[in-house]
Amino acid sequence: MNREDMQTRSTSGAFKTRTEEGGDLYIEGYFSVFDSNYDLWPGASESVARGAFSETLDGDVRALVDHETRLVLGRTTANTLELREDNHGLWGRIKINRDDSDAMNLYARVQRGDITQCSFGFSILDEETENREDGSVHWTIRKVKLYEVSVCTFPAYEDTGVVARKRDYEDIQKRKTEAWRNALLKRLNPGQGQPNETGGK
């Protein structure tokens, strides 16, 4: 996978709306849950490890609607988006702009329970690959660069993320096939490649 490519991952969150003293409105919930399997396709899965966001939360992160860059709900550098990592996952709180009709409409939909899901956009900086005995593959994401979090109507894996993972999977399967073939050839021709009595090959 090209680690410079931005990926997105989605989850069903338990978003809540909140009104604080003074009338400030907030949407809050978890944008990512640690150690929860994302099923990419049969035989391939992925999870985000605890600590994956620990080095990226000081950056300039936006809160969006459905990954639409024109629909900005909040921003960490403007103190309208708060993000933190705890033992459960990546928690966030968005301060809603009452003068923004898109933000107020979203707030109403979350309040009614019409929208409860979310996603986050990031690049992978460190991960581990596990080839399991049943033939499946699991990736554990250890470290990311976070760009944005989104409140989503229909969260799903972006095609680019799945395609990139499939390339990784195909490379793994190719290496396994080559290793099996080389091991078989070695058993069938145990002397191949070994020096003979005259010192030749």
Q: Per-residue pLDDT tens for 101-156?
A: 999 999 999 999 898 888 888 999 999 999 888 888 999 999 999 999 999 887 65
**In the numeric block, which tokens belong to residue 112?**
């009614």
How large a percentage of the chain has pLDDT more than 90?
A: 44
What is the torsional sign of CA 99, 100, 105, 107?
negative
The residue to which tokens 């396994």 are assigned: 176
Phi, psi (rounded to 5 degrees) for 157: -65, 135
> CA geometry: angle at 145 spanning 8 and 6, to 5°?
35
User: Quick check: 162 pLDDT over 60?
Assistant: no
User: Quick check: 196 pLDDT over 60?
Assistant: no
- Averaged over 149-166, what is the pLDDT? 64
Quote the pLDDT of residue 178.
Answer: 76
The model's confidence at residue 182, banded by pLDDT at 50, 70 and 90, is: confident
User: Quick check: 6 pLDDT over 90?
Assistant: no
Pairing verdict, β 81-85 and 89-96: antiparallel
Q: Is 164 left (phi over 0), alpha (psi -120 to 50) or beta?
A: alpha
Question: 67-112, pLDDT tens digit by residue?
Answer: 889 999 999 999 999 999 999 999 999 999 999 999 999 999 999 9
Quote the pLDDT of residue 57.
Answer: 94
